[in-house]
């Protein structure tokens, strides 16, 4: 049976990927639905819920019904009956079509009465069994006030079959079109089957992700299990083999703080921390990094990665939908099933296209009836109805988005949705934060200087390093974390406050004020800084950040912190280019650091002086983005911290690097799973290629219909050719989209 958070549905009425998209969109609108996976051939939909409590099956069934399809719950046990029936119908239709074609085209039996009656019987079987899916689909869409390609197929095939039955039974004589009626249904069904097979390639990365996490794990059981509330990695004592027993259990039974044994070659089942052992772990599928990561006690492990060469003991920190792998899968699924604004054009045309085509077919039928009789009129009308199918138009955008989302996941970055892809393809300027984005984000204190001041007796009992370290340890900013490492002593402080982009303050016992932050901020706080001039000038010129530490508004120390550029930063900026007019991007550097420090970094990267802005507070970053947008620029902002969230939100495209805080990730449109920013030009390049592919698909879909309808109306192409051409048009659109899977920068 289905798991508490998964429901399997049988969905009838679907004939192509457009139908699958409608079912997916209808189900995903319901609150509580985590993701939806639909198979046209199997007539199934798998609904994953956010939680068992959020399950609202009745609402999902109602939404699918309103979209024009019938759905009901079914066991999760594999049932291939529907898929087998669908395949047998396809084989039946193709066999009948081939037999009738041989009879008419090779043995020239088209006018033989006995062969016409045989054709009537065989084509009738195709209409009833193979054509039923199109008739049911058309009827369901009509009941909800919509129309789709099923209506055109049903009308076209019925027109050819109906005229032939009338001609045969009335004794009118002449040519009958039973072969054409069977061919229309059979060839279109075959085209949809090929379409489904080809589309499976576009979801290859997602399927790989879904299969990464193993179904079972070796849980370690002992006489003294670790308790979540008392666990401390520093006090962990490895138990001996004699005290433990490994039991293989389903991953769904694992709980937080369980211990898991990982042998060489094992896939990591859940997220966790290494308790004991050392090994190399392959994280390529999640991060795109080809070099294995070394893991030891205290290192983080992620579900789906592979332990290569050592035994590890893992403490579970996240399971199920909370793992990093689950979040990545959700992001890829969200991108694949999302809609870009450009898709609205195709949707609007598709919605009105069927009535217009029916009107054209009627007009052409009347014209040819008057000039050439009923036979020609029916054939022309059938051809128009078939060749005008808007299926390719509906596939143009979602096929490209699906392929692009998978290509992005394979390269180590996630794109939130189709709208983000569309925005990324139109970017003209890229703004980079400095710390943690262009640099490693792990600055070190490389020099410090203290200044003697008159202190009270109680303050003299503390070391300056202990005071500064205790204050900075309360902050999550990279510079504060570095200062925190100069001492292990932690003093009790109260009233801690972090002033974004400026510094941190707190109160020591007896009411002494401690301040640590930028020299500019300390100057604003009336702290005398004259003594720091020589020290600050020397280190800022070298690209270091300088922080001042004050007690009771009197400067007592300064710290120089040096960060290093990421190895691929210069190459990434070179790929982006500095001149938008040469198909590159305008590069800007924004930082809250001092002007001399930021310009020293910019000089190493050849970023023009006019595009470097220092001592910028977080709220000012968002304002800077607004100013560029007011000039007509389409702006991408690349950042990694809470301070960058306003700018990430304001930008046309927000890009968060791998160590980004949760807030930055929520605000971002693109998330880089690896820390190197070389993925930034890749992401923007892939987005441009995707937008170009969507436009190509829409053009060819429009061109195909614009050319096919007049040719069919003038009688230049037969209904059989129209049916084959319609299937080919779908394959062209999907094949063009699949080229994105092989896209290279």
Indicate whether 187 belongs to any domain.
yes
For the chain, give the percent of residues with pLDDT over 90: 16
Which residues have a catalytic role annotated?
Answer: 433
For residues 35-50, average pLDDT: 78
Indicate whether 595 belongs to any domain.
no
Q: How far is CA 50 from CA 29, 387, 409, in A?
A: 13, 42, 22
Indicate whether 191 belongs to any domain.
yes
Residue 331: per-residue pLDDT: 65
Indicate whether 643 belongs to any domain.
no
Burial class (CB in 10 A: 0-12, 13-18, 19+), 497: exposed
**Strand pairing class (554-562; 444-450):** antiparallel
Indicate whether 618 belongs to any domain.
no
The 10 Å Cβ neighbour count of residue 253 is: 11
Residue 600: per-residue pLDDT: 86
96 and 196, same structural domain?
yes
32 and 58, same structural domain?
yes
For residues 439-465, average pLDDT: 82
Higher pLDDT, 232 or 681: 681
Indicate whether 650 belongs to any domain.
no
73 and 44, same structural domain?
yes
pLDDT digits 0-9 by tens, 219-259: 998 654 444 444 444 445 554 444 568 898 988 889 999 99
Burial class (CB in 10 A: 0-12, 13-18, 19+), 509: exposed
For residues 554-574, average pLDDT: 87
Concatenated DSSP letters of 191-252: HHHHHHHHHHHHTHHHHHHHTTS-SEEEEEEESSPPPTTT--GGG--PPPGGGEEEEEEEGG
Residue 466 to residue 471: CA distance in whole angstroms? 9
Q: Label residue 335 by pLDDT band (50, 70, 90).
A: low
Highest mean pLDDT among 2-6, 204-208, 651-655: 651-655
Number of domains in the chain: 4
74 and 90, same structural domain?
no
89 and 74, same structural domain?
no
Higher pLDDT, 700 or 125: 125
453 and 393, same structural domain?
no
Residue 290: per-residue pLDDT: 60
Residue 419 to residue 225: CA distance in whole angstroms? 48
**In the predicted structure, residue 413 carries a pLDDT above the cut 70:** yes
User: Across the chain, what does the average pLDDT equal?
Assistant: 80
199 and 123, same structural domain?
yes
Q: How far is CA 606 from CA 158, 347, 472, 598, 734, in A?
A: 69, 46, 33, 12, 42
CATH number of the domain enclosing 19: 3.30.70.100
Residue 142 to residue 514: CA distance in whole angstroms? 73
List residues bridging with 156 in a β-sheet.
Answer: none
157 and 15, same structural domain?
no
376 and 266, same structural domain?
no
Q: How far is CA 175 from the centre of its chain?
A: 54
CATH number of the domain enclosing 458: 3.40.1110.10
CATH number of the domain enclosing 308: 2.70.150.10
Residue 228: per-residue pLDDT: 45
Residue 663 in contact with residue 642, Cβ under 8 Å? yes
pLDDT digits 0-9 by tens, 498-534: 887 789 999 987 788 999 998 889 998 888 888 788 8
Sign for the CA dihedral angle at 434, 439, 445, 446 comes to: negative
Residue 160 in contact with residue 377, Cβ under 8 Å? no
Q: With a threshold of 0.75, does the pTM exceed it?
A: no
pLDDT digits 0-9 by tens, 378-408: 888 888 877 876 667 767 777 788 888 888 8
For residues 202-221, average pLDDT: 74
311 and 235, same structural domain?
yes
**Strand pairing class (545-551; 512-518):** antiparallel
* Residue 416 per-residue DSSP state: -
Indicate whether 141 belongs to any domain.
yes
Indicate whether 318 belongs to any domain.
yes
191 and 127, same structural domain?
yes
Residue 11 in contact with residue 133, Cβ under 8 Å? no
Residue 63: per-residue pLDDT: 92
193 and 233, same structural domain?
no
Q: Give the end of a domain, one of 322, 350, 372.
A: 322
Q: Give the end of a domain, one of 303, 322, 341.
A: 322
Higher pLDDT, 430 or 19: 430
Q: Give the end of a domain, one of 20, 49, 79.
A: 79
Q: Label residue 195 by pLDDT band (50, 70, 90).
A: low
Residue 246: per-residue pLDDT: 86
Residue 589: per-residue pLDDT: 92
* Residue 229 per-residue DSSP state: T
Higher pLDDT, 56 or 241: 56
Residue 81: per-residue pLDDT: 47
Domain extent at residue 256: 214-322
């Amino acid at each position: 049976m289905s798991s508490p958070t998964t429901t399997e549905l049988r969905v009838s009425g679907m004939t192509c990927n457009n139908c699958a998209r409608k079912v997916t969109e209808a189900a995903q609108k319901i609150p509580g639905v985590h993701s939806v996976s639909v198979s046209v051939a199997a007539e199934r939909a798998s609904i994953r819920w956010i939680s068992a409590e959020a399950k609202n099956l009745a609402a999902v069934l109602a939404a699918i019904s309103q979209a024009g399809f019938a759905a009901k719950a079914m066991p999760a046990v594999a049932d291939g009956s529907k898929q087998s029936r669908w395949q047998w119908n396809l084989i039946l239709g193709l066999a009948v079509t081939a037999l009738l074609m041989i009879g008419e085209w090779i043995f020239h039996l088209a006018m033989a009465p006995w062969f016409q009656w045989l054709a009537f019987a065989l084509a009738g079987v195709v209409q009833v069994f193979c054509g039923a899916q199109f008739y049911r689909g058309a009827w369901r869409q009509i009941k909800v006030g919509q129309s789709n390609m099923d209506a055109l197929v049903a009308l076209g095939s019925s027109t050819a079959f109906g005229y032939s039955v009338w001609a045969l039974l009335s004794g009118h004589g002449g040519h009958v079109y039973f072969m054409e009626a069977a061919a229309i249904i059979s060839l279109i069904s075959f085209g949809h089957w090929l379409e489904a097979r080809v589309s499976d390639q576009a979801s290859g990365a997602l399927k790989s992700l879904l299969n990464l996490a193993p179904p079972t794990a070796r849980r370690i059981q002992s006489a003294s299990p670790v308790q979540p509330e008392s666990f401390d990695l520093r006090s962990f004592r490895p138990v001996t083999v004699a005290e433990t027993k490994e039991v293989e259990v389903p991953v769904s039974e694992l709980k937080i703080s369980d211990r898991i044994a990982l042998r060489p070659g094992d896939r990591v089942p859940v997220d966790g921390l290494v308790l004991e052992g050392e090994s190399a772990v392959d994280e390529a599928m999640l991060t795109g990094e080809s070099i294995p990561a070394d893991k030891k006690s205290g290192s983080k492990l992620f579900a789906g990665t592979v332990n290569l060469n050592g035994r590890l003991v893992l403490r579970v920190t996240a399971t199920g939908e909370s793992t990093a792998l689950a979040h990545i899968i959700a992001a890829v699924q969200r991108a694949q099933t999302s809609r870009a604004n450009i898709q609205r054009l195709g949707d609007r045309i598709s919605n009105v296209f069927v009535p217009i085509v029916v009107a054209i077919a009627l007009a052409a039928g009347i014209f040819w009836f008057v000039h050439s009789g009923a036979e020609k009129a029916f054939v022309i009308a059938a051809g128009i109805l078939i060749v005008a199918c808007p299926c390719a138009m509906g596939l143009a955008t979602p096929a490209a988005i699906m392929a692009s989302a998978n290509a992005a996941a394979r390269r180590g970055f996630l794109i939130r949705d189709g709208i983000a892809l569309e925005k990324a393809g139109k970017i003209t300027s890229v703004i980079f934060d400095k710390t943690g984005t262009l640099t490693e984000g792990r600055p070190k204190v490389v020099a410090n200087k203290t200044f003697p001041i008159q202190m009270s007796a109680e303050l003299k009992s503390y070391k300056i390093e202990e005071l500064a370290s205790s204050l900075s340890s309360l902050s999550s900013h990279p510079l504060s974390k570095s200062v925190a490492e100069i001492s292990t002593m932690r003093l009790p402080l109260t009233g801690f406050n972090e002033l974004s982009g400026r510094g941190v303050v707190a109160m020591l016992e007896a009411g002494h004020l401690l301040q640590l932050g930028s020299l500019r901020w300390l100057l604003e706080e009336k702290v005398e800084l004259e003594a720091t001039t020589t020290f600050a000038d020397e280190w800022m010129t070298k690209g270091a950040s300088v922080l001042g530490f004050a007690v009771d508004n009197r400067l007592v120390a300064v710290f120089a912190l040096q960060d290093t550029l990421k190895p691929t930063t210069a190459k990434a900026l070179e790929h982006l280019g500095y001149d938008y007019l040469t198909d590159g991007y305008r590069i800007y550097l924004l930082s809250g650091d001092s002007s001399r420090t930021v310009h020293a970094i910019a000089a190493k990267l050849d970023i023009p002086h006019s595009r470097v802005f220092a001592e910028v507070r977080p709220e000012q970053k968002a304002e800077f983005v607004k100013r560029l947008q007011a000039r007509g620029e389409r702006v991408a902002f690349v950042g990694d911290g809470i301070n960058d969230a306003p700018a990430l939100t304001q930008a046309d495209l927000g890009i968060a690097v791998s160590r980004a805080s949760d807030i930055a990730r929520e605000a971002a449109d693109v998330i880089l799973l690896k820390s190197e920013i070389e993925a930034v030009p890749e992401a923007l390049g892939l987005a441009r290629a995707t937008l170009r592919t969507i436009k190509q698909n829409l053009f060819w879909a429009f061109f195909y219909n614009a050319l096919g309808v007049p040719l069919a109306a003038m009688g230049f192409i037969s209904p059989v050719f129209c049916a084959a051409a319609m299937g080919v048009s779908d394959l062209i659109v999907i094949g063009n989209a699949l080229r994105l899977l092989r896209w290279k920068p």
